[in-house]
Structure 1
């Protein structure tokens, strides 16, 4: 448990599907919970269109007959958030935008599921914007973390999360609460390259290394913020493993793969780009190493 006191610090992370929170911001969630911050994880869909790994739960998938995967993934998200929570503390619990089931996983670009009447990508944009603004006004975060304009890797629901975050922050400001800092969660190019180099000799059977340029990344000089999550890395890995229908963690616990079996490193440092708010360099190279600086403190 950290000795840093974050009393009054409030962080909101916004994700498209269960498992995104652990893949992209699991370390940040665990670290700031350890330090006493209030952390809210908003998930926008149940991930109903996810591709299931293995046979045990395959029939729960949308194309497997039962179409019950979303409900199962609520349980996976609940276990993942509990893994990210400090020992002895009340576990973090899921919060679904608009309530569980309000919007449905749209599936990959071009999929028929995008035409579902509850598909997140098809929602009149003002509705999820207003729902997220409600959360911001209620929880009053100083810091919000969302996605970049590419939606990380182009998934329609990730693109929608990007669209609604900035608009919801603006609406919340009009309704009385101003977020101090808005970030995009991204991958640093050199960290990705190093992680892949280190993994070359431990690729599990059936997995493959990514092709050149196959995984999204940002140039190092575009990264504004690097958060050390090494002290909570085991909990981040446990959270990834909790999403067993979607994620496989390697035996070394240093890499993971989705259903495509493409190896990806598990990072002990998580990277972000500050897109709104005051940059407060506190680490090497003029980068921030903390999401909460003087500009986030309430008078």
Structure 2
């Protein structure tokens, strides 16, 4: 493999890239493929889970965004990713914050910060990504689905920006000052396999753990967080890199409880985190394995 193959990952906040695609990215770097991460906000409004860093939260002294800038730099370095961009430059778009809906998914908060990504002009934000797409000319783009995975406004906006930018970047008459048009061959949305989630949740409950994913029944309604297996097109096996992924995740120290569900409980045997699933939003499915899923996002290219 060579840097002639490049994947572009578009995420809302620091840590999203590692949780969703850490194993995929580490594997592709090891294979000599190009990996670029674009982060849309610095995550200034994120919840701080480490007691000795609570002073960084936006409710107290602030400074979380600058701190998370260092966290993502360390995490990506651990994954081997050397090309990281902030959409429009660091601080251009502010974390929008969120609230929880009664149904259990995220929604926009009643009060949204100034310069929030959620309120950004779509064309203005997309133009910043068009420049990156035309510079790098990736064959593969990865982002969230239209619900942002769980409803967070910044995730939804990242989806909108990524999809619109991909369309604009390919348009032959659109802002040629940004570079020669480029049509991304394949676009994927991050996914959690419904069957895999049910299996993991069942193991969690059988272990006696009733607190992790509290209220979720392995045989009940899963809500919007998971994707039906029939909609999933690809599963990248990153089990050889799962320890790299989990060690990188620990470097997002303000956001990850080292004693939390990522690292403890029945699902932390790492099988759950080593295989990463994707929905194909654009392009043709390439060669598949015995389970009918692509094993490589570049399949068919």
TM-score normalised to structure 2 length: 0.85
Instruction: Tell me what 1:31 maps to.
Output: 27
Q: Where does 1:237-248 land on structure 2 (aligned, <5 Å)?
A: 237-248=246-257
Task: Output the CA distance in 1 between the equivalents of 2:111 and 2:261.
Answer: 36
2:89 to 99, 115, 118: 99
Per the alignment, residue 164 of structure 1 pairs with 161
Which position in structure 2 is the counterpart of 1:259?
Answer: none
Residue 289 (structure 2) pairs with residue 292 (structure 1)? no
Gaps of 5+ in 1: 86-90, 257-263
**Could you say which residue in structure 2 is the equivalent of 1:147?**
144
> Does the CA-based 8 Å contact 1:14-1:42 persist in structure 2?
yes
Q: How does 1:190-201 map to 2 (within 5 A)?
A: 190-200=195-205
Q: Is the 8 A contact 1:13 1:144 kept in 2?
A: yes
**How far off its partner does 1:75 sit?**
0.8
User: Take 1:287 and 1:9, find their aligned partners in 2: how far apart are those partners?
Assistant: 20
Aligned residue among 203, 222, 228 for 2:231: 222
Aligned match of 2:130:
133
Aligned length: 277
Taking only aligned residues, the RMSD between alpha carbons, in angstroms, comes to 2.3
CA shift at 1:251, angstroms?
A: 8.0
- Matched-pair contact (CA < 8 Å) for 1:11–1:39: yes
Give the match for residue 58 of structure 2: 62
Q: 1:178 aligns with which of 179, 183, 191?
A: 183
Of 60, 77, 81, which residue of structure 1 is paired with 2:76? Answer: 81
Report whether the alignment pairs 1:111 with 2:105.
no
Structure 1 residues 254 and 195: CA distance shift in structure 2, 3 A = farther
Q: Contact 1:17–1:43 at 8 Å: present in 2 too? A: yes
**203-212 or 16-25, which deviates more:** 203-212
Q: 1:231 aligns with which of 240, 255, 280?
A: 240
Q: Does the CA-based 8 Å contact 2:191-2:278 persist in structure 1? A: yes
Q: Give the TM-score taking structure 1 as reference length.
A: 0.86
1:119-157 C-alpha deviation (Å, 9 max, x unpaired): 001111111111011110011110000110111000000
Question: 1:201 and 1:251, CA in 2 relative to 1: closer, same or farther beyond 3 A?
Answer: farther
1:279 and 2:275 aligned? no
Whether contact under 8 Å (2:149, 2:224) holds in the other structure is no
Residues 37-69 of structure 1: per-residue CA shift (max 9 Å, x gap) = 1100000000000010132111111111x2200
Q: 1:205 to 1:57 in 2, by over 3 A?
A: farther
Rate the CA distance shift 1:208–1:7 in 2: closer, same or farther, 3 A: closer
Q: Distance in 2 between matches of 1:21 and 1:138?
A: 21
